[in-house]
């Protein structure tokens, strides 16, 4: 696994918008994020298209790819953190030079939601570790929440430990940079499906947002074979979350992944809290998970701090991890080895 250099104070973080851009009413949040991250001791550069948003993208596909490649080839840029996700990152993939990316010194690329569409191919095709975690705009409020602040911690250390949250919730007001970013008022409890606690398992992390992962199936951007073959001795931990999927859609997505052998050599699965979820008639999330994972005989942990319902853990695709779960709490240790 090719790990980028560890991030240190004084390094430059690049912000580009490979999917949606930042609409004018959110420019103050972006400015506040830049100020907050600069205050942590990092340099920040922002590409031209970040402050534009039309037809749900920051710019045309070629421009978005060009701005990403320009950041990636800048020697001083050590990490790239998009403002947030969106809908159509996939249409810029054809304009990325993956062969060049393989040869270049690796950089940290971070984010979640539609940013999965970029992280997943980078890890699979280029064998580069990527980070499924906080987006840049989450840094743009009164203060950076500890869960988002941990992004900088995990990028600067070869080994890290995270414990599941005590409480989860939602954004307070995404357009108000003067407020706290989250209201966390619901008790977090990790649910172990089909196995008894205490639970321990390990493997290489891989995963992301199912809404945008599944459209990649069958394309050259989601060829898991080499990755699975290279690290099958370690086994894998899938980290999955969803946004806007109902119960039947979650089942279809997991079924599709399983039928394409994505869970081969899998030692365990971490499932985030599904945002925008609803049952379909009497078919629930429990039914979806039961049908999708029947006979797999591996630990499945549901309700994890992954994805669209904050807070979220910072998870490195490609890192070796050990997961421990007991009494509704989860601990994950990640090593860049």
Residues labelled catalytic? 113, 241, 308
CA distance linking residue 332 with residue 325, whole number of Å: 9
The answer to whether the beta carbons of residues 55 and 20 sit under 8 Å apart is: no
Q: Which one, of 155, 58, 144, 67, lies nearest residue 110 by Cα?
A: 155
- In contact, 306 and 313? CB cutoff 8 Å: yes
Q: How far is Cα 118 from Cα 110, in angstroms, rounded to an integer?
A: 9
Could you tell me the two tokens for 198? 């205490």
Residues 6+ apart with CB under 8 A from 225: none
Q: Is 159 left (phi over 0), alpha (psi -120 to 50) or beta?
A: beta
């Amino acid at each position: 696994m090719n790990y980028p250099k560890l991030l240190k104070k004084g390094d430059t973080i690049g912000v580009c918008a490979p999917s949606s851009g930042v609409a004018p009413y959110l420019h103050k949040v972006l400015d506040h994020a830049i100020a907050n991250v600069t205050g942590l001791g990092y340099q920040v550069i922002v590409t031209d298209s970040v402050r534009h948003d039309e037809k749900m993208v920051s710019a045309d596909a070629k421009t978005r790819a060009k701005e990403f490649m320009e950041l990636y080839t800048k020697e001083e840029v050590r990490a790239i953190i998009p403002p947030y996700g969106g809908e159509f990152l996939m249409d810029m993939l054809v304009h990325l030079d993956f062969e060049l990316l393989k040869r270049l010194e690796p950089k940290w690329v971070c984010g979640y939601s539609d940013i999965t569409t970029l992280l997943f191919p980078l890890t699979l095709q280029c064998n580069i570790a990527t980070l499924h975690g906080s987006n840049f705009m989450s840094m743009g409020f009164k203060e950076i929440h500890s869960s988002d602040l941990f992004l900088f911690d995990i990028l600067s250390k070869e080994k890290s430990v995270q414990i599941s949250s005590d409480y989860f919730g939602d954004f307070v007001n995404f357009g108000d940079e003067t407020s706290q970013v989250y209201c966390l008022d619901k008790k977090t409890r990790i649910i172990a499906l089909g196995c008894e606690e205490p639970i321990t398992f390990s493997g290489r992390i891989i995963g992301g947002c199912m809404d945008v992962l599944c459209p990649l199936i069958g394309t050259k951007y989601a060829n898991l074979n080499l990755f699975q073959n290279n690290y099958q001795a370690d086994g894998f931990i899938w980290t999955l979350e969803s946004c806007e999927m109902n119960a039947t859609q979650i089942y279809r997505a997991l079924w599709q992944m399983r039928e394409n052998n994505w869970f081969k050599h899998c030692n365990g699965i971490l499932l985030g809290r599904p945002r925008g979820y609803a049952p379909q008639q009497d078919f629930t999330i429990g039914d979806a998970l039961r049908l999708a994972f029947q006979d797999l005989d591996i630990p499945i942990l549901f309700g994890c701090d992954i994805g669209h319902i904050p807070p979220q853990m910072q998870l490195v695709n490609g890192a070796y991890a050990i997961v421990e779960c007991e009494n509704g709490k989860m601990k994950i240790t990640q090593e860049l080895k």
